[in-house]
Amino acid sequence: MAQVTIGNSEFDRDTAVVRRSPGVYDAELSAGWTIIHAVNGGYLLALMGRALGDALPHPDPMTVTAHYLTASRPGPAVIRTEVVRTGRTMSTGTATLVQFEDDGTEVERLRVLAAYGDLDALPDDVRTTAKPPAMPARAECFGADAAPGGRPALPGSSAITARLDVRLDPATCGWAVGAPSGNGEMRGWFGLADGRDADPLSLLLTVDALPPTAFEMGLKGWVPTVELTTHIRCRPAPGPLRVSITTRNLAGGFLEEDAEVWDADDRLVAQSRQLARALLD
C-alpha cells in the first residue's frame, strides 16, 4: 500500500479543485463525506479553503467564516472567489459555492469570508493559559463501531464515519445508548482513517467532525449550522488530534458550539465557534 501523505490521500483527492479561470474553480462534492441528510459542513469548508488558498497570495487559512445557506448535494459544484485585500502578511478573500438544479438554476450553498496568512512565518512566542482537555487515552475511547449493536442509529447516510477515525470520550457517549449526560460537552480523538496527518486544511474538517453537543444535551433532532468561524492558530504536528467541544448557551432555538483542537505536541492549533439551530422535538 502506497504511503498516505499530505497531498496524496482520500481527503486531498476529495477536496481537489480545478481552476477553470482566474478565481473560479470546479469541484466535485464526494458522497463519501455525507452524514445523515447532508454533505458534512467541515468537508465543504476544507474544499472552499483549498480554493481560497489558490486564489490568495498567502498559503494558510487564519480565520475562516462560513454561512451555510442551503443543503449541498454530492456532485458537481463551482467555487467563485474574490480577493478583497492583499496585505504584506495577510490577505482577505471571499468564496461562494454554488450547485445547479436540473433546470440549470444556480443555487448558492455556502458563502465564506476568510483571512489567510503564513503560519510558518509567525513568531514562536507562546503565552497561552489554555490547557489540553482532560480525557482518557485513545485506546479507552469509543470508535464508531463500539456502541452496543454497532454504531448508534442515525437516519440516512453515515458514509463519513468510514473516512474518519474518531474515538469519543466515554463520558460524552451517553447519547449513543439513550442516556445523554445533559452536559453540553463532546470530546474525542480525531484522525483521518487512512492515516493522513493533519494540516490547516484538514483542521477545517476537524472542527465540525464530532457529533453535536446537542445529543448529549438530550436533543435528538438535527442541528444545522448557520455560521461557523474557525481560527487556525498553529500548523499541527503529526499524530492524533484531541477535540473538545462545549456549549454554554442553548436558548431561543439556537446554540453555540465552541471547539478547540489540540495536537500531539499539546499546542492549541484551532479554535472554532458555530451558531447552530436546535430543532427541538
Contact positions vs a copy of itself (CB under 8 A): 62-63, 65, 67, 69-70, 84-85, 90, 92, 94, 108, 111, 113, 115, 119, 122-130, 183-184, 217, 226-227, 229, 231, 233-234, 247-254, 256, 267-268, 271, 273, 275, 280
3-state secondary structure of 139: helix
Nearer to a copy of itself, 30 or 91 (CB): 91
Contact indicator for 223, 211 with CB cutoff of 8 Å:
no
Residue nearer to a copy of itself on the CB measure, 157 or 230: 230
Q: Which residue has the cell 455556502?
A: 110
Nearest one of 213, 222, 207 to 250, comparing CA atoms: 213
Burial 241-259 (b: 16+ CB within 10 A, else e): bbbbbbbeebeeeebbbbb
Q: How far is the CB of 91 from a copy of itself (least distance, A)?
A: 10
Residue 91, C-alpha cell as written in the block: 490577505
- Residue among 82 and 194 whose Cβ is closer to a copy of itself: 82
CB of 150 to a copy of itself, least distance (A): 30
Q: Could you give the CA distance from residue 42 to residue 113 in angstroms, rounded to a whole number?
A: 15
C-alpha distances (whole Å) from 208 to each of 84, 213, 228 are 26, 11, 9
Closest C-alpha among 24, 148, 9, 140 to residue 80: 24
As given in the structure block, the three cell numbers for residue 228 are 461557523
Q: How far is the CB of 56 from a copy of itself (least distance, A)?
A: 13
Contacts of residue 131, defined as CB under 8 A and 6 or more positions apart, other chains included, come to none
CA distance 6 to 12: 7
Which residue's C-alpha cell is 454533505? 39
Dist CA 262 CA 28 (whole Å): 30
> Beta-carbon neighbour count of residue 215 at 10 Å?
22
